């Protein structure tokens, strides 16, 4: 990891040793204090209850030995009789710090039971019970059966907020128990990742002064390690929500609006059988409706025992999929063929697309650095890969993991892959050789980009960024359909023509028009064929604010990140969201976009000439064109989504991918190697690095805790409450980390 260009460090056969030793030499203090902080947090903070109860005198008694009301004792537990007064009155000679309920033999480990309760305190000389907020415990998670009573009174009342007749399988209770030491590999992983941000990317890190070399072993190692960490975080997010278990089969709602979670599996099966309509049962009542798109008429079908499928296109008596068809072709059809007829679970396709996208995100930012920025650093590249991985909105899709997320996550994957292939296709000028465009890479770039029209059309505008990318090759080197560039010219256009033609034929087969994607025939919460929305200027500022600048909503109790209230004066498709807006929750590091007018101003011409590669003026114009076009497209899509789709965190990725792409260019321009070396003592440079790493850390932790946010819309397990499914024991295990609070 050289401070300057040239062989300042002796190269050896082992490319890892010199860099690693130099890094340790300059960062050992930060490494030491970060690791010390992890040890202190793991041993003495998260496990504080262990040390607090080391000298405790436990009092283990049957539940029946304590004063109770509103409960009926039974073998192995008790029943709730009076829901508003079902409580256990616990009195102790010593102040009560912790309590522990003991499962009886009647508790079924394979079917955990969620129990809602409240803790009340009775102060000395008083009989009034002061209750806190409702909390939950799970019989399948032993750590969740501990209660922190505060250690300030000797009389604690536990009230069970459950319906009458609920059986609670607790037969004993321990006052002031010994709490065992608890280690969590997941917690350690999160702490290590958060610490690595500061170790590797902290303001004083040598990686900010190290020129990126994608052929050097140590650089490749760090890039691969960073990518694997991003992929692991995706998997944790996906696994914790258990959407891979919830989004299967049908959900038969009592209101007659059914959900089919295997939409793409059904579509793939239909295509394999030679038709584009979905093989779903169609009720006679739906066929008899004069206007099936009228929600009132569909709701009335339940009175006759009829039903309709929610969020499916219904046209001329058949169900269709209005989302793009290409994910069904690339993920679901091959799986069904290989597996002998089984359907790929929807959530697995979402995860796979996100993981592949993470790989191409790192390849893309590395290619951007090598192609446009002469002084790009390893530190910037590592941060840039996390900016795309965290700030694009893909984590929202991983959280949902439903068929809604399939086209968005697929377009995310195709866009990053296509952009990398396009940049890879541009051959830089070498001594004695002319520049050119690789036909193969150009072909695959266009192929991947064109696939967006069959996934999420909002990503199609990314294809127009080919104009500034290939501007020099087309207008300066005049390669377009030239003798030298004929194959590249043909192969960059051919896949676009083929994919668009196939999609248009697909539309024509379904709806009789090549430009009809079927979105207006969707059976949703309002009649999309006749719907009139409020005027564009009336609601637009409100919805834009929710998307971009809704303040972060934090609390001091697990899960710390709460939903935000999205008030609207008139009815509109509005979902509640976890955390906050794009710049305040999902991608706070993208706030550097607002500094771009100054960063690329004429006042910094000399600075920019030291930063860009090759022909400085041409590179500067290309970058500014890329930034302006991407911001314009992202903002236009934001406005379109606001007007036509309303507000939902699911749509953040539509414009977020454009903004994060621009953020990468701004980041490389702000912090080239020469700035980090020559202006190392500048408070502005230090503050910029500090804020970027701080925002990354906050976003990382907030995204993790937002997994467990109560009331978050989108997941089958968390629609109304974080604890809907007691089988999802992850939430209780993570909540138990904060027993000390």
pLDDT band (50, 70, 90) for residue 464: very high
CA distance 726 to 138: 7
pLDDT band (50, 70, 90) for residue 726: very low
pLDDT at 191 over 60: yes
Q: Which residue has the higher pLDDT, 661 or 259?
A: 661
Residue 565: how many CB atoms within 10 A of its CB? 10
Residue with tokens 């941060």: 383
Look at phi and psi of residue 500 and say left if phi exceeds 0, alpha if psi is from -120 to 50, else beta. alpha
Rounded to the nearest integer, the mean pLDDT of the chain is: 87
Tokens found for residue 715? 């997941």
pLDDT band (50, 70, 90) for residue 4: very low
Residue-wise pLDDT for 88-105, tens only, equals 999 988 899 999 998 887
Starting at the earlier edge strand, list the strands of the sheet with 257-260.
250-251, 257-260, 308-309
**Mode of pairing for the β-strands spanning 59-62 and 170-175:** antiparallel
Tokens found for residue 703? 């995204």
Residue-wise pLDDT for 265-303, tens only, equals 999 999 999 999 999 999 888 888 888 888 888 888 887
Tokens found for residue 586? 């999902």
Classify the C-alpha dihedral 641-645-651-654 as positive or negative: negative
pLDDT at 3 over 60: no
pLDDT at 14 over 50: no
**What percentage of the chain's residues is helix, strand, coil (to nearest 5)?**
55, 15, 35
Omega within 30 of 0 (cis) for the link into 434? no
**Mode of pairing for the β-strands spanning 77-80 and 426-427:** unpaired
How would DSSP label each residue in 299-347? HGGGGGT--EETT-EEETTEEE--S-SHHIIIIIHHHHHHTTSPPPPHH
Q: What percent of the chain has pLDDT over 70?
A: 93
Among 70-74, 307-311, 605-609, 656-660, top mean pLDDT goes to 656-660
Q: pTM (2 decimals)?
A: 0.91
Residue-wise pLDDT for 201-260, tens only, equals 999 899 999 999 999 888 999 999 999 999 999 999 999 887 777 777 787 777 888 888
């Amino acid at each position: 990891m050289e401070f300057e260009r040239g062989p300042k460090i002796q190269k050896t056969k082992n490319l890892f040793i010199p860099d690693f030793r130099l890094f340790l030499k300059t960062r050992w203090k930060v490494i030491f204090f970060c690791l010390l902080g992890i040890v202190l947090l793991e041993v003495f903070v998260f496990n504080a209850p262990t040390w607090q109860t080391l000298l405790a005198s436990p009092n283990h008694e049957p539940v029946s030995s304590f004063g109770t009301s509103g409960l009926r004792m039974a073998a192995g537990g008790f029943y709730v009789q009076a829901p508003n007064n079902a409580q256990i009155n616990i009195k102790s000679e010593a102040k009560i710090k912790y309590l522990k309920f003991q499962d009886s033999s009647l508790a079924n480990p394979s079917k955990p039971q969620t129990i809602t309760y409240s803790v009340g305190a009775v102060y000395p000389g008083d009989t009034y019970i002061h209750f806190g907020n409702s909390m939950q415990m799970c019989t399948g998670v032993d750590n969740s059966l501990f209660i922190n009573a505060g250690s300030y009174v000797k009389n604690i009342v536990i009230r069970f907020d459950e319906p009458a007749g609920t059986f609670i399988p607790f037969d004993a209770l321990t006052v002031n128990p010994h709490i065992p030491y608890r280690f969590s590999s997941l917690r350690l992983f999160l702490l290590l990742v958060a610490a690595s941000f500061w170790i590797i990317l902290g303001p004083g890190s040598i990686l900010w002064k190290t020129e990126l070399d994608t052929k050097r072993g140590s650089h490749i190692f760090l890039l691969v390690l960073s990518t694997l960490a991003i992929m692991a975080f995706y998997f944790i997010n996906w696994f914790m929500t258990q959407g891979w278990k919830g989004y299967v089969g049908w959900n038969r709602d009592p209101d007659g609006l059914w959900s089919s979670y295997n939409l793409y599996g059904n579509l793939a099966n239909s295509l394999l059988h030679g038709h584009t309509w979905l093989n779903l049962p169609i009720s006679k009542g739906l066929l008899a409706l004069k206007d099936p798109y009228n929600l009132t008429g569909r709701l009335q079908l339940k009175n006759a025992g009829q039903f309709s499928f929610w969020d499916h296109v219904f046209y001329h008596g058949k169900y269709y999929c209005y989302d793009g068809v290409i994910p069904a072709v690339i993920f679901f059809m091959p799986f069904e063929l290989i597996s002998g007829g089984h359907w790929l679970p929807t959530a697995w396709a979402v995860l796979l697309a996100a993981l592949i996208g993470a790989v191409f995100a790192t390849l893309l930012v590395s290619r951007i650095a090598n192609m446009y920025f002469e002084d790009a650093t390893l530190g910037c590249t590592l941060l840039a890969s996390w900016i795309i991985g965290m700030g694009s909105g893909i984590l929202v899709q991983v959280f949902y993991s439903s068929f809604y997320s399939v086209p968005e996550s697929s377009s995310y994957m195709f866009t990053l892959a296509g952009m990398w292939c396009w940049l890879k296709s541009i051959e830089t000028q070498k001594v004695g050789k002319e520049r050119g465009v690789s036909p193969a890479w150009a072909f695959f770039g266009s192929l991947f980009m064109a696939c967006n029209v069959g996934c999420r059309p909002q990503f199609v505008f990314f294809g127009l960024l080919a104009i500034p990318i290939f501007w020099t090759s087309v207008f300066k080197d005049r390669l377009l359909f030239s003798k030298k560039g004929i194959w590249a010219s043909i192969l960059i256009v051919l896949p676009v023509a083929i994919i668009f033609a196939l999609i248009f034929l697909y539309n024509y087969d379904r709806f009789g028009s090549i430009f009809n994607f079927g979105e207006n025939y969707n059976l949703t919460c309002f009649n999309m064929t006749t719907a009139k929305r409020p005027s564009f200027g009336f609601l637009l500022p409100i919805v834009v604010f929710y998307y971009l600048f809704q303040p972060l909503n934090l609390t001091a109790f697990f899960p710390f990140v709460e939903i935000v209230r999205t008030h609207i004066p008139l009815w509109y498709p509005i979902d509640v969201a976890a955390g906050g807006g794009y710049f305040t929750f999902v991608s706070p590091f993208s706030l550097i976009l607002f500094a771009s007018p100054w960063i690329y101003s004429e006042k910094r011409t000399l600075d920019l000439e030291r930063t860009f590669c090759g022909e400085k003026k041409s590179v500067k114009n290309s970058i500014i064109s890329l930034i302006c076009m991407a911001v314009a497209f992202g903002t236009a899509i934001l406005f379109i989504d606001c007007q036509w789709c309303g507000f939902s965190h699911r749509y953040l990725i539509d414009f977020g991918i454009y903004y994060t792409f621009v953020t990468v260019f701004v980041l490389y321009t702000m912090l080239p190697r020469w700035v980090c070396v020559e202006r190392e003592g500048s408070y502005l440079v230090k503050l910029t690095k500090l804020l970027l790493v701080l925002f990354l850390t906050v976003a990382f932790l907030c995204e993790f805790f937002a997994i467990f946010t109560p009331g978050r819309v989108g997941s089958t397990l968390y629609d109304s409450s974080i604890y809907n499914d007691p089988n999802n024991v992850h939430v209780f295990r993570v909540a138990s980390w904060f027993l000390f609070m």
